[in-house]
Amino acid sequence: MIDFDPATDTGKVPSPCISICKMNPQTGLCEGCLRTIDEITRWSTATEEAKRQVWVEIKRRQDGLF
């Protein structure tokens, strides 16, 4: 997973994709980047703020709160 903190890192928001693209049918999340299919497909047209919000969700999921 890319080391990015949406609360403190400034500038362009990096894609969380790490090229391990496999959707988990139980969670509905990509096993590589922990995004939903909707988050993945919207990424290329999302605003920087929307991308930052996706990162907030990824961090929450990493912490096991999903």
Residue ranges of alpha helices (H) inside 1-66 are 37-42, 48-62
pLDDT for res 30: 97
User: What pLDDT is stored for residue 65 in this prediction?
Assistant: 60
Mean pLDDT of the chain: 94
The one-letter amino acid code at 36 reads T
Q: What is the pLDDT of residues 6-63, one digit of tens each?
A: 999 998 999 999 999 999 999 999 999 999 999 999 999 999 999 999 999 999 999 8
Helix, strand, coil content of the chain in percent (nearest 5): 35, 5, 60
- Portion of the chain with pLDDT greater than 70, in percent: 97
